[in-house]
Structure 1
């Protein structure tokens, strides 16, 4: 890996390595810069491209649904990985994705009582995330632009409103960025430092 490379528009790995990031420190300028770097990375590489596809929507006709949903499935797993401080998601994608959903108020608010929330989360993981990313198709559900983020019948996932889902995920990310500014969230901050792996930081000196 090169010594320096872009991690987001206007930010490099070298910029990251210069930051002094103590998870217990109060709201320092370095923490604000670090969070701005992650926000820029998420914006440039994930949110803005998806929003561009949504903004090119043909009126009253759903297009680009699969690619929008596939990227947002990635974003859900990725955020949970940051929360847990995981450096590698190998063999853990299902658990991360499902835990994100179960803890997210948008998901359980409309679930049928026929299954536990964890079972419905597994249904979305298999029928949506895995079907899209591995097979390029949905597994029995439709992708639309109206209604709730998730719609179920008593037995299965039936519809995902990819526009509403995308907007709700953006709110979750914004809340995460705000939490990282709080010194009392030291565990969350420490886990956020998995960015060291992305930026090829071998060890972090005590600040």
Structure 2
């Protein structure tokens, strides 16, 4: 076991792995609020809030799209109670499921195409494939004809989805299926921090 008690969250309060383990056993209203804050920090606090506070003139559409590409898979793992998206095309499936569930928010986006031409392009080669273009603060979220994505609008919409998900968690009992799956993912996060081979948090 890793002797270091890794910090999983600093905002709005500091939570170490040992604290989170206790909250997972506690299962009361306080635990629900703290765990909801942890999830919000990991999704919005780590990826969206920093990009919202980039100095004017230094904004990057590609960086704004890289964050959602990282987040969508993790977000789906929280929703499905999964450890990760490694193997058996689980990454592809996560994007297909996400864009099916939020088709009203992201009209016209095909999850499989997005995965291969946007997500894989940006994360592996820092570019898009299939002639897709990333725009900053202009155009529709997705324009199928022009093959453009408005990174600013995309990030704002994803922020709304994340906040809505956490709001739903706060309104439900910890025994609700939504929480059971989220707690599974939190448990996997703690396991990864305590594994001497894996040092991710």
Consecutive unaligned residues of structure 2, counting only runs of 5 or more, are 195-201
Aligned length: 182
Equivalent residue, structure 2, for 1:129 = 119
In the alignment, what sits opposite 2:94? 96
1:65 aligns with 2:61: yes
Map of 1:15 onto structure 2: 19
1:114 maps to none
In structure 2, do the counterparts of structure 1 residues 122 and 29 end up closer, same or farther at CA, with 3 Å as the change threshold? same
Query: What stretches of structure 1 of length at least 5 have no aligned partner?
Result: 112-116, 203-207
2:199 aligned residue? none
TM superposition shift of 1:183: 2.4
Residue matched to 2:105? 106
Q: Does 1:175 align with 2:171?
A: no
Residues 124/34 of structure 1: CA separation in 2 closer, same or farther (3 Å cut): same
Measured against aligned partners, the alpha-carbon deviations of 1:151-174 in whole angstroms (never above 9, x if no partner) come to 102xxx711110010010000001
Quote the offset at 1:40 in angstroms. 2.2
Cα distance, 1:123 vs structure 2: 1.4
Measured at CA, do residues 199 and 158 of structure 1 come closer, stay the same or move farther in structure 2, by a change above 3 Å? same
Sort the Cα spacing of 1:150 and 1:2 in 2 relative to 1 into closer, same or farther, 3 A: farther
Give the CA deviation at 1:86: 0.6
Shift of residue 189, structure 1, vs aligned partner: 0.5
Structure with greater proportional helix content? 2
Determine which of 167, 187, 198 is the counterpart of 2:189: 198
SS of equivalent to 1:200: helix
Q: So what's the TM-score if we normalise by structure 1?
A: 0.79
Cα deviation for residue 133 of structure 1 reads: 0.6
What whole-Å deviation, never above 9, does each CA across 1:99-147 have from its counterpart, x for those lacking one? 1011102123xx3xxxxx7xx2211111100111111111111111212
Q: Structure 2 CA distance, aligned partners of 1:146 and 1:19? A: 43
CA RMSD of aligned residues (A): 2.3
CA distance in 2, matches of 1:11, 1:164: 31
